[in-house]
Structure 1
Amino acid sequence: MAEFQSYKCKQRTKVPSKRKGYSSKCASLVKEQRARLYILRRCATMLLCWYIQGDD
């Protein structure tokens, strides 16, 4: 009987997996989109500068 009780206790000590809530998922998507827009803006600026300097 003692073995059975200790087995039950071991099962209960498992930590449930953390689930992300809607707000944290949304926040991570917004952060990813902001990063993509930043990269696109930097690339566009760099290409525009090269184009303008090439006219001289």
Structure 2
Amino acid sequence: MGQCSSATKMRRKRKREEECCRESMERRNKGCLAMVKERRSRFYIARRCILMLLCWHKYANS
């Protein structure tokens, strides 16, 4: 009887550890996604500004 209860406890402990690892991975992924989105938006803004500066001569004489 004692062996069954200790095996059950070990399974529960392992399951909790797996859930903890999964949660930390999800948090890390959310942080990475936020960073990627921010960099993508910054790159978009920089690209638009550079394009505007390069093409400004077309509209400067108008």
TM-score tier after normalising by the smaller chain length: 0.5 to 0.7
Q: Comparing both structures, which one devotes a greater share of its residues to helix? A: 2
Q: What is the root-mean-square deviation of aligned Cα atoms in Å?
A: 1.6
Query: Which residue identity does 1:31 align to in structure 2?
Result: K
Q: Which runs of 5+ in 1 are unaligned?
A: 1-18
Q: Which runs of 5+ in 2 are unaligned?
A: 1-16, 56-62
Give percent identity, aligned residues only.
Answer: 8
| Residue 46 of structure 2: aligned partner | 47
Superposition pairs of residues 1-56 of structure 1, within 5 angstroms: 21-56=20-55
